[in-house]
Amino acid sequence: MFDVPFWLWVVFAATVVVSLAVDLLAHRSAHVIGFREAAAWSGLWVGLALAFGAVVFLVLGGTAGTEYTTAWLLEKSLSVDNLFVFALIFAYFQVPRAYQHRVLFFGVIGALVFRGVFLAAGVAVVNRFTAVLFAFAAVLFYSVYKILKGEEESFDPGRSLAVRLLRRVVPVRDTYAGQRFFVKEAGKHVATPLLAVVAAIEAADLVFAVDSVPAVLAVSDDTFIVYTSNAFAILGLRALYFMLSGLLERFHYLSTGLAVILGFIGVKLILQATHKLVSPAVPEIPSAVSLAVIVVVLAVSVTLSLRRPADAAEGKDGEDADALREPSPRKVK
């Protein structure tokens, strides 16, 4: 555990709050986010994450800086699966492209809260019961199996627990009403499908946290490192989605690459637990090696995807004019 000064927590919190405020103001009106705009924002989020990593390196030392960078890159790579699910959810509910940023914005806020809870609990459990690392490794190996068997895309947005609970709490109308989450009908407040989409996004993040939390805890057991790295990875998700939304199918080897990374992290967890519980003679994998493996696997996955393209699937990007249209979404039954 690192001795993190209180002012560094304040700097982190202020950075996140200011970033969210700027992002919300910049996208307060509904519009389609094109590739150039998304790339610019993605570059900003990456630069901000790396700048904070430099601060961590200078204040807490090289080990902390390496762990932060490794954890951030790991979460960034694992978030690719989130992007596929986002696309699935938006297609399921037929969300106009102009409204998708607003959904993801509130989805990010929820993810920051839930991840904070899960990571704090995970760190506490790991510090108290080291043997739980074996269970975490088993979770990651099962995730590898699901990815290689092609079972990772079985998420059904309409049947997610969050959406079902929402329907029990408040009635949901069948049509969108701009970017609003609630409208008044016959003197009663009813939810729009946009709120159901946010619920589905949050449910998806909870599903992915099952892989994400054990993976990042293999890199560090320091609350500050694991949460800040997760937070900066989550903050950049929206821009990454809009930048890659039309290119996701081209990177068809990324899933295999993620399986390799998760398998490697699972082995790292087993070695880490064995080193602590069985014998100090059992070697641990340094964070610098983990960082190098993640970078190499991602680079190879992207390169192979571009050099060996998959069979082109028929489809085309929607036009900007169509994005402002309000189609009737799939009924939230």
Amino acid at 293: V
Instruction: Report residue 83 as tokens.
Output: 């992007």
Distance CA 293, CA 285 (A): 11
What residues in the chain have per-residue pLDDT under 70? 28, 30, 81, 150-161, 245-249, 310-333
CB atoms within 10 A of CB 115: 25
How distant is the alpha carbon of residue 272 from its chain centre? 25
Give the three-state DSSP class for 308: coil
Q: Residue 301 to residues 34, 292, 294, 306: CA-CA distances in angstroms? A: 25, 14, 11, 9
How distant is the alpha carbon of residue 183 from its chain centre? 30
Task: Tell me what pLDDT residue 225 has.
Answer: 92
Task: Tell me what pLDDT residue 159 has.
Answer: 65
CB atoms within 10 A of CB 203: 23
Distance CA 232, CA 76 (A): 9
pLDDT digits (tens, 9 = 90+) for 193-221: 888 888 888 887 777 777 778 888 888 88
Task: Tell me what pLDDT residue 325 has.
Answer: 44
Spell out the SS3 assignment of 160-195: CHHHHHHHHHCCECCCCCCCCCEEEECCEEEECHHH
Distance CA 56, CA 323 (A): 41
Instruction: Report residue 156 as tokens.
Output: 């059904």
Distance CA 188, CA 198 (A): 21
Instruction: Look up tokens 């036009």; give the residue.
Output: 319
Distance CA 232, CA 24 (A): 16
Distance CA 13, CA 305 (A): 37
Residues with Cβ within 8 Å of 206's Cβ and at least 6 positions away in sequence, in order, are: 114, 162
Is residue 118 within 8 Å of 209, Cβ to Cβ? Answer: yes
Task: Tell me what pLDDT residue 154 has.
Answer: 53
Task: Tell me what pLDDT residue 7 has.
Answer: 94
Is residue 277 within 8 Å of 131, Cβ to Cβ? Answer: yes
Say which DSSP state 152 is in: T
Task: Tell me what pLDDT residue 70 has.
Answer: 92
122 closest CA partner among 209, 188, 4: 209
User: The whole model's pTM is what?
Assistant: 0.75
Instruction: Report residue 67 as tokens.
Output: 């762990």
Distance CA 93, CA 202 (A): 15
CA angle 106, 113, 207 (to 5 degrees): 80
Residues with Cβ within 8 Å of 23's Cβ and at least 6 positions away in sequence, in order, are: 41, 105, 238
Distance CA 144, CA 236 (A): 25
Is residue 304 within 8 Å of 76, Cβ to Cβ? Answer: no
Is residue 216 within 8 Å of 86, Cβ to Cβ? Answer: no
Strands 182-185 and 188-191: antiparallel
Instruction: Report residue 157 as tokens.
Output: 């947005």
Task: Tell me what pLDDT residue 326 has.
Answer: 44
